[in-house]
Structure 1
Amino acid sequence: MPGTLEKSGTRLALGDLTLTALSDGYLDIPAAYFSNVTPTEQQAVSPSTRFGANTWLIETGTRKILVDAGSGDCLKERFPASGALTWQAPEKATERAAVTDIVITHMHADHIGGLSVNGNSLFPNAVIHLQATEWDFWTDEALLTTAPEDKRPMVGLIQALAKPIGNQLRLHRGDTDLGNGITLISAPGHTPGHQAVHLSADSREMILLADVVVSDALQFANPEVRYALDSDPVLAVETRKTLFDRLSADRIPFAATHLSTERFGYLDTRGNGFAFVEV
């Protein structure tokens, strides 16, 4: 059964859980980042397409759980409209200190850049939940030399952002119950340890897909479309199809990081693909 949604469409109540969408701005992504597309699909995202940059706050009454932390200042040069949450601002110190947990869906810089500044953790009281596979992959020092040359600056940035949070980690392996109706779901393909977040209460549920889908302009209608930053494009497609089938069949509300809207919605089947229907 679907969750109860407030009129704004950016807050969802599930039993004692409250979920709020928090926008970190947006990113304009070149059409060349997509492959396995038709000429019509290519034209639809040319010369670039706008990605949202959504994160979420889950409140349980005793816990404040942030799902991803945005990009902070680390992508401003390339994406000036990123980092809108400004977690690094001094006036947000009290708000940051109240965060008890942070779920990192994966370690791309637009998800972890807001965790630290100048080598210091911005959320000192939070337990940071991450898949062990993800942490081990990105923090491997050898990756700086074994990664393709054009990806090495990204690897170096991720490793620098990871250092200040090492002592706050709780590493998980596969699907994990965090309590309060919150479950981490292994959803690899975009990155080796990419995870989604499942919420449930009172026979209701919803899912935060993170980067299982990155383009609402292309990948709902055609889940086969590949994205340049997927570490395993074939597995990413398989994961996307599996979760899309589940969302559609069970009429589960969901959100995703890079949708062009912060609002929650459902998936309807549409021909050989799907269509996003906003609440």
Structure 2
Amino acid sequence: MNLNNTLHPSKPGTEELVPSRYAVQVGEIEVLVISDGVLPLPTEMLGHNADPAARAAWLGDMFLPADAFDWSLNVALVRSGDQTILIDAGLGLDPNLNLPRAGQLVKRLDSAGIDLASVTDLVLTHLHMDHIGGLLVEGVKDRLRPDLRIHVAAAEVKFWESPDFTHVHMPQGFPDALRATAKRFIEEYRSHLRQFDDRYEVAPGVVVHRTGGHTPGHSIVRLASGGEGLTFAGDAIFAVGFDHPDWYNGFEHDPEEAARVRVRLLTELAATGEQLVATHLPFPSVGRVAVDGDAFRWVPVFWDY
């Protein structure tokens, strides 16, 4: 399967007036960034340790609303050799949370002519519901290949046996939903899990690294081929994190460590010049990082038509 061919769907799909997939080439590795939709959340979650006036000033400078705005939800489909790897699986459908504009992944894979049975491997950056919920949608498991390998850090699976929500800052209902979704996912897919400690090569040039911070087993995926590189950073980086890497995100279970991970990763990306994709940066979230004084600057790519 050539991911470039997905620009011309092989079967009719729902017509949408927004872009939902974007192809990138990393040496010999093909990448397709796919939008799972958007997740409206309170702006306080962008930096709950920040001075409210400073947070409001940043939102104003970015022409963003003061109370809540839409966080993008991005996943990636990667083709390396004879393996097709899905990085994260989107939110799925949780009627209790009333998030109708998220959970679009399966529909958008179908519209791109991508058969779920072609996915040989799934890498999960962590087990928050907006990264695993797509696998819990009714009928999805039946469409997956029986030998699907799901790669996740052992520390992440261990954490969700008795998760600690002491340091998060989430809207009401989210902790219970996160806890229940992770438990259900582990129960349903335990036989598919391939757990690793700190680093694992999933396919040629596709390596997953545990970073911790956001969750104990949070991981990033680094692609390298032909002298080019791209990092899928999961939830290590949010839009505000370039200007204010020390601000705590409401979903971080260890916000102090998450901030250290963020600074370290942004520093590395600025030094290497490799491309960055992250779950909650505006779609397609493909860009690079530059150092800007004591902080960083996000440099989005010019779209390649």
Q: Shorter chain as normaliser: what TM range?
A: 0.7 to 0.9
Change (3 A) 1:271 1:41: farther
Q: How many residues align?
A: 266
**Is the deviation greater in 117-126 or in 238-247?**
117-126
1:20 is the counterpart of 2:20: no
Check if 1:189 corresponds to 2:198: no
* 1:50/1:260 contact within 8 Å kept: no
Structure 1 stretch displaced more, 72-81 or 46-55:
72-81
Q: Do residues 213 (structure 1) and 226 (structure 2) align?
A: no
Does residue 82 (structure 1) correspond to residue 102 (structure 2)? The answer is yes
Which residue matches 1:227? Answer: 249
What SS does the aligned partner of 1:177 have? strand
Q: How does 1:229-268 map to 2 (within 5 A)?
A: 229-268=251-290
Change (3 A) 1:170 1:35: same
Matched letter for residue 157 of structure 2: W
Q: 1:58-104: CA deviations, max 9, x gaps?
A: 01241110000101112674322101123599999971111000000
Conservation of the 8 A alpha-carbon contact between 1:255 and 1:265: yes
Corresponding residue for 1:156?
180
- Structure 1: segments with no counterpart, 5+ residues: 1-7
Structure with higher strand content: 1
Alpha carbons 2:81, 2:203 under 8 Å: kept? no
Cα distance in 1 for residues equivalent to 2:252 and 2:285: 24
Correspondence for 1:30: 42
Which residue among 94, 109, 124 is the counterpart of 1:104?
Answer: 124
Gaps of 5+ in 2: 1-18, 60-64, 167-171
Within 2, Cα distance between the matches of 1:86 and 1:234?
Answer: 35
Superimposed CA distance per residue, residues 238-260 of structure 1 (whole angstroms, 9 cap, x where no aligned partner) = 00000000001111111100001
Structure-2 residue corresponding to 1:5: none
Partner of 1:11: 23
Q: Does 1:172 align with 2:172?
A: no
What secondary structure, in the 3-state scheme, does the structure 1 residue paired with 2:241 have? coil
TM-score (norm 1): 0.87
Provide closer, same or farther for how the CA distance between residues 59 and 35 of structure 1 changes in structure 2, counting only shifts above 3 A: same
Tell me, what secondary structure is at the counterpart of 1:227? Answer: coil
Q: Which residue of 2 aligns with 1:115?
A: 135
Letter in 2 for 1:193: G
Q: Give the structure-2-normalised TM-score.
A: 0.80
For the residues of structure 2 that align with 1:51 and 1:94, how far apart are their CA atoms? 25
Q: CA RMSD in A?
A: 2.6
What is the CA distance between 1:164 and its match in structure 2? 1.3
Contact kept? 1:23, 1:84, Cα under 8 Å: yes
CA distance in 2, matches of 1:89, 1:57: 10
Structure 1 segment 57-96 matched on structure 2, within 5 A: 57-74=77-94, 77-86=97-106, 95-96=115-116
Q: Distance in 2 between matches of 1:102 and 1:197?
A: 11
Conserved 8 A contact 1:75-1:82: no
- When residues 169 and 90 of structure 1 are mapped into structure 2, their CA distance, relative to the original with a 3 A threshold, is same
